[in-house]
Amino acid sequence: MKNPSSLALYIASLLWLQFAYAAVNPFSVTPGSPVQNMVAGSSQGIHYVLTSPAPIDSPAVVKCTFTPENPSQFSYSFNQAGCVTGVGLFSGLQVDVLLTLTAASGVTTPQKGTLTFQQTNGRGYTINIPITVNVASTSQRTITINNYCTTPPGAGKDTLNNLVIGVITSSVPAKNQYSAQTACTDDSDCSVFTYSTCINASATGPCNGGAGCYCGGGACVSDSDCSNSQAGTCVKGACTYCNGDSDCIQGASCNTASNICYFKIPEPGKYQLNPFTLGGNPDSTTITLQDHSAANGFTQVFNGRITGRVGCDLAGGQYSNCNVGDCGTSSTADPGACNFQTNAITSPATLAEATFIAKTPDTYDLSIIGGVSIPMDFHPTSGSAASPNAYNNPYVCGNSGSITEVKTNGGQQNIGASNWDFTLPTYLNYPVYQLRWVDDSTATVCSAVQPCANGLYCGMTRANEGAAGQTTCGNPLGYWTFNQICTDNNAFTFKNANGDTIASCNSSYNTNTYKDLQLCAGPAAVSCFNVNKKDNTCCGCVNWNTLGIIVPTSPEIVQQCSYPNSYWVGSTRLNAPGALPFIQWLKEACPGCYTYPYDDKTSTYGCPGNNGQSAVNYTIDFCPENMEA
C-alpha cells in the first residue's frame, strides 16, 4: 500500500491539474476577416478561427449558432454542418468557420445579430459575438475628390491656381440579344463570358431557355448574337460595335469615332476646385456612379481614369488647352467633361485608375507608367471599408500613394511612404534631364555644362519629346518616363546630361527592341513572373525590396521574381542599359504606384476582401498634405 501522505499528494496534484485546466478557457475564437458594409440583396462571408488547448483524447466540442434580430431581413448559413452540430477542438487543430450573411432585397437599415460559440461538453463555456452590418440605401458608388494643392505645376490661364477634374472611361460591350448560345437559366450559365450575368433570371425564376433570359454584358458566340454587329466584330465575351447610344448597354454611350461603347463620363458636382489654404479645409467635390449591373447583366459599375487638369482655357464652360492633364474639349452635353470621342488624357499625367464591380472586389491603383504630374492618393472613404490591418495585407482596402508607411501584420508586411520627391536617374554618373518635363517659357539649351539660371530647371518640353529630345530651361511641370517617350516617338534616342547615348527606342536587344522592354510589348509581352526558367525575352520582373524599396515580401501577398530578364534588368556584359534602372526612380518616390506594365504585383489594390456585393466608396486626394511634385 502506498504511503498515505504520498497518495494524498498524488490526488492533490491531479485535482490541481484538473483545476488548472478548468481555469483555462477551453477554446478561443479569432476573427479571420472583418465585417464589411453591404447593399440590399447581397451576401458576405466572415471567417472565424477556432482553437483549443484541450488534449486530443479529450477535445472541447463546440457548437455555433447565429441569431439575427430580424430573420426575414438578415439570413445566414455556415460553411460546415459540423459547426452547427458541434466540432471537436484540441491542441494543434485550427477550425475555420465561415459565416455567410445575406441582406434581403429592399433592406436599407443596419442589420444586427449575435454569433454564439458554445461548448457542449464540460462546463458549457460560451462566447457571444455581436455583429452589426451597415446596409447602404443604394448600390451606387461615390468618389470624393479633395484638393490640397496650393500652386500646382502649370497653373495659369483662365483657371489660375485651380484644379480641374478630368475623367475618361473604358469601353463596355454593346447590347446583347437572346440567342440559342446566350440563353440561360442562372448566372452560372454565363460564367464563360467576362462580367456577364443572366438577365431576368432572378426576376422571373428559372427560364428553362426561354427568350426572357439571356447572358447580358454583351456576351456573344457569333456575330448573330449581337443586335448591332458588323462582320468580324464579335469576340468571345463581348459584342463591341455601335452606331448610336441605343446600341449600348444602360449607362454607356457610343463613341461614333471608333464605333465602340464606353461608360458615360460621370459628371462631378463641380469641375474646378479652389487652391488649398494652409490651415483650412480642402475644396472638394463628389462623383456619383450609378449601378446598372442588374439591368445590363454586366457587373462592372465603372471603369475609368481620373486626373487633375491645370492651367486651362475656359470658354462657355468648356476647358481646353490645359498645360497639364489636358483631355480635350467636351463633345457631350456636359461642357466641363473631357472629349468623349478622343477619350484620352495627354501624358505625362498621374492617373487614378479604377474598376468597380457589383460583385467584389473592386480594383484600383495610381499609375505613373505614362509620367508624373500631380501627387495623389487613392483609398476607400473613411468608414466605408475595413482597414488593411484587418486583412494583414496592405493591398486590401489600402491607400495607394499614401504619404505615410502602410503597416500590416505587426509591421512585417508594409508599403513604404510615398514622398513624391523624384530624383532623376543617372547614366555614367550624369542625370537624365530628358526625364524632367518643363514648359517652353525659354528656348535656352541646357546640359551638364550649361546649367539653368533664374530658378528654371533643365528638362524636355513636349515639342522636343516629339523631336530630337533637346533639353532646355523651363518651369517644371512633371516627369516623363521612357515608356511614354517610346510610345510617342519610336525613333527617340535617350541621352544623359553629358550627351552620352543610353539607348534608342528602336535599338535591338536580343529578340526585343528597347521600346519592347519598356512597354512589355512584342516578344516581351510575356511577364517574367510567369516563366519557370531563365528567359532573356520576357518583361520584368523585380523584387523591389532588394533595391531598398519597402514592399511586402510574403509570397502570399506579392509574387516573388525568380527569373528576371538580364536585358530588362541591365547588363554591362550584354551591353544592355536595361529598363529597370530608368523605372526604379519612380518606385522609390511612390512605392505603391504602377511603374511598368507588369508592376501589378506591388501596385494593384482590391477592396473589400469578403464575398458579396460591394458598398465601398472611395476618396482621391490631390497633393496630399499639400505635397507637390
Q: 136, 158, 179: which is the final residue of a domain?
A: 136
Domain harbouring 383, CATH code? 2.60.110.10
Three-point CA angle 198, 200, 205, nearest 5°: 100
Contacts of 197 (CB under 8 A, 6+ apart): 187, 190, 215, 216, 217, 293, 297, 298, 299
Q: What sign for the dihedral angle of Cα 73, 79, 80, 84?
A: negative
Residue 251 lies inside a defined structural domain of this protein: no
Task: Name the residue type at position 543.
Answer: N
Kindly state the cell numbers that stand for 544. Answer: 523591389
DSSP 555: T
Q: Which of 492, 482, 483 is nearest to 432 (CA)?
A: 482
| Residue pair 212/184 in contact by the 8 Å Cβ criterion | no
In this structure, the answer to whether residues 104 and 214 fall within a common structural domain is no
* Inter-CA distances, 23 with 26, 90, 153, 570, Å: 9, 16, 66, 63
- Mapped onto helix, strand or coil, the DSSP state of residue 602 is helix
H-type alpha helices, 512-609: 514-519, 566-569, 584-589
pLDDT of residue 38: 86
Spatial separation of the C-alpha atoms in residues 597 and 406, rounded to whole Å: 23
In this structure, the answer to whether residues 200 and 311 fall within a common structural domain is no
| Residue pair 317/163 in contact by the 8 Å Cβ criterion | no
In this structure, the answer to whether residues 373 and 277 fall within a common structural domain is yes
Domain harbouring 91, CATH code? 2.60.40.10
Residue 345 lies inside a defined structural domain of this protein: yes
Q: Which of 153, 250, 26, 255 is nearest to 241 (CA)?
A: 255
Residue 234 lies inside a defined structural domain of this protein: yes
In this structure, the answer to whether residues 283 and 349 fall within a common structural domain is yes
Residue 546 lies inside a defined structural domain of this protein: yes
Structurally, the chain folds into a number of domains equal to 5
Contacts of 437 (CB under 8 A, 6+ apart): 348, 371, 459, 460, 461, 462, 476, 477, 478, 479, 480
In this structure, the answer to whether residues 414 and 425 fall within a common structural domain is no
- Count Cα neighbours of 389 within 13 Å in the Cβ-side half-sphere: 6
In this structure, the answer to whether residues 359 and 274 fall within a common structural domain is yes
pLDDT of residue 542: 97
DSSP 425: P
Residue 518 lies inside a defined structural domain of this protein: yes
Neighbours of 170 (CB within 10 A): 15
| Spans of the chain, pLDDT less than 50 | 1-2, 4, 7-22, 203-204, 209
- Count Cα neighbours of 40 within 13 Å in the Cβ-side half-sphere: 14
Looking at beta carbons, which pairs linking 220-227 to residues 24 or more positions away fall under 8 Å?
A: 220/176, 220/179, 220/181, 220/182, 220/193, 221/179, 221/181, 221/182, 222/181, 224/179, 225/176, 225/177, 225/179, 225/181, 225/182, 226/174, 226/175, 226/176, 226/177, 227/174, 227/175, 227/176, 227/177
R_g of the chain computed on alpha carbons: 29
Residue 599 lies inside a defined structural domain of this protein: no
In this structure, the answer to whether residues 94 and 145 fall within a common structural domain is no
| Residue pair 458/473 in contact by the 8 Å Cβ criterion | yes
Strand partners, 135: 38
Spatial separation of the C-alpha atoms in residues 364 and 330, rounded to whole Å: 26
In this structure, the answer to whether residues 150 and 282 fall within a common structural domain is yes
**Residues 272-286: tens digit of each pLDDT:** 999 999 989 999 999
Spatial separation of the C-alpha atoms in residues 207 and 226, rounded to whole Å: 21
H-type alpha helices, 383-427: none
Q: Which of 462, 517, 470 is nearest to 488 (CA)?
A: 462
Strand partners, 64: 117
In this structure, the answer to whether residues 279 and 396 fall within a common structural domain is yes
pLDDT of residue 210: 53
Spatial separation of the C-alpha atoms in residues 309 and 312, rounded to whole Å: 7
Give Cα 28 distance to the centre of its chain.
Answer: 35
Spatial separation of the C-alpha atoms in residues 379 and 400, rounded to whole Å: 6
Spatial separation of the C-alpha atoms in residues 105 and 455, rounded to whole Å: 62
Containing 60, the helix (H) or strand (E) segment is strand 60-68
**Residues 234-291: tens digit of each pLDDT:** 776 678 888 899 889 999 999 999 899 999 999 999 999 999 999 899 999 999 999 9
In this structure, the answer to whether residues 382 and 468 fall within a common structural domain is no
**Which residue reads 512589355 in cell numbers?**
520
Residue 360 lies inside a defined structural domain of this protein: yes
Which domain range does residue 343 map to? Answer: 141-171+265-419+604-626
> Any idea of the CA torsion for 243, 244, 249, 253, to the nearest 10 degrees?
120
Region at 284 (left for phi over 0; alpha for psi -120 to 50; beta for the rest): beta
Residue 597 lies inside a defined structural domain of this protein: no
In this structure, the answer to whether residues 283 and 386 fall within a common structural domain is yes
| Residue pair 33/609 in contact by the 8 Å Cβ criterion | yes
In this structure, the answer to whether residues 130 and 154 fall within a common structural domain is no
pLDDT of residue 232: 65
**Which residue reads 455601335 in cell numbers?**
242
